Amino acid sequence: MPKLSRNILRSLLLLVVIVILLLLYLQFAAARVHHGFIENAVSDAVGFDVTTTEDFQFSLGKKLAFSASALAINHNERLDDEPLANIGELRLIVDTWSLISGPLEVDLIELTGVKIRLRAFNDGGSNWTNTAVEPEPESADAGAPPILHDIRVNNIDIQLAQDGQSVWQVLAELNGTVAASFPSTGPLIKLELSTPKLEIRLPESEDAAPAESDATAMLFDDSPIGYLGLDQLGLTANIAADIISINDESISNFSVAISVSDGVMQIDPLQFNYGGGSISSKLALAPEEELHSLSFSTEVKALRFAAMAVGGQDPKGLPPLDAIVEIAGTGESLHAIMAAANGKISGRHSTGQVGMQMAGALFSDIFSSLLKSLNPLAETQPYTTLDCGIYDLEIIDGIATVKKLAVQTENLTVMSEGDINLETEAIDLSLSTKSREGLGISLGGVANSFVRLSGTLSDPTINMDAAGTVTTTGAAVATGGLSVLAKGLWDRLSAEADICSDAQPAATE
């Protein structure tokens, strides 16, 4: 027995010596001697060409620490192009015992100075796909999936270019943690991310002739909703940004909470400040037999659209908007959901100055065309004073009915009735207008008019005084066409000299 004990002790000591030598080898020699071998092994594993001009660094103990600097990741078939990614520094910390016992447990992946350049080429290829590398099928005995505790990214710059032209670019300094595990039921991910500033750069729009509209095009997508594996994902994410800058526009105090469980996705809340006001929204998307149910609501407070300002105009002088939107429906596509939707849209614009030219750009020229047609003075007025706007629509089984839609400016009052079929997206609205003090008698025949807004949501059209419904003085209403609806609108206009007494949108129940 004593001899056996001595043999066991001798073996243990020998093992310790081997381990110590291995540790010393890894720490002081392996990274330098096998630099090329490690690069090739990593390249084969990820399917892209990975190179670095710096030595790898190892530290092995209870934790295995690995670091690398100046990493470049290239497409195997396009090595002459700009790298897909450059990483200033990579740090990896792994629980050493998990390398032996499994599953692999990664304590930290930290990336600093990440520059990603996504390139789509004229031949249909891209630098993020590699047709030369076939993904290996998963083996049934591949072992337990790894556990990831923390990912950190510091200073990230991502750009997408199509045919050599930039499509978008995102720059941010991210802080926070990402934890993930990969059980057989699907990945479980938890994110807590924040950034002091997220900058998004989009190419400046070039002046070009307006494209011809397609009257048959649908505003709401008719393709089936793809879950993209959401039914296999468990996700909890909280993301915040102090500032998000998109070219010259900025939003502040952005935050969003996202959860995905059992195929149900919830966003509650998504909120941010913009234009001196605030927007708060929530959304839920869930499978329902062969379909999907969607519910969406948003509340807008004191929102001013900077795009409505004329050059030099203080955006604070724009009319603030308070609004509530609630929509819910079920279907296999967004179009099918809207075709069966129920809900409401209720909004109020308070007084403010509106630039006619910019208002037209914001509302696809429909609004400015309407006011210019009704009020010839609009051509010479850089601003019009909006006293108020009142918007109440009720949506029942895919039909959005205008309960009250009225706009009052210093010169005109406009009212509308009608509906929008969200299945066909057909618009059938009649608008009546009446001049207010300041236009003068000679303009009365133009200002006291009836207008029909028709077409579709993607291709609206305006017909002025379509059925000859109003005389020059507005005192008589012709028969036929829109006469019944028009007369009702005219009566309402006559009875409501000032429509702005109803100042608040309908409250959410």
Per-residue pLDDT of the chain (509 residues), as tens digits, is: 444 455 555 555 555 555 555 555 555 555 555 666 677 777 776 678 888 888 778 787 888 888 889 998 887 666 566 788 999 999 989 888 887 777 888 898 899 999 998 888 777 777 777 655 454 554 444 556 778 888 888 888 998 888 778 888 999 888 888 887 777 777 888 888 899 999 999 887 654 444 555 556 778 888 888 765 667 788 999 999 999 998 878 899 999 999 999 889 999 999 999 988 999 999 999 988 888 999 999 999 999 877 666 666 777 888 899 999 999 999 999 999 999 999 999 999 999 887 655 444 434 445 555 555 555 555 556 677 888 888 999 999 999 999 888 888 877 788 888 999 999 999 988 877 777 654 433 333 444 456 778 888 888 887 765 444 443 333 333 333 334 444 454 455 544 556 776 555 555 44
Cα–Cα separations (whole angstroms), residue 84 to 71, 115, 472: 11, 8, 68
Cross-strand pairs, 432: 415, 450
Distances (CA, A) of 470 to 307, 404, 437: 35, 22, 19
The pLDDT, as a whole number, for residue 9 is 54
Q: For residue 445, what are the CA distances in angstroms to 415, 433, 476?
A: 17, 11, 12
Which pLDDT score is estimated for 104? 81
| 317: nearest Cα among 333, 331, 305 | 305
Structure tokens at 145: 């999936």
CA-to-CA dists, residue 25 to 11, 57, 65, 96, 401, angstroms? 21, 12, 15, 16, 77
Determine the length of the chain.
509
User: Are the C-beta atoms of 305 and 295 separated by less than 8 Å?
Assistant: no
- 485 token code pair: 């609806």
The pLDDT of residue 420: 93
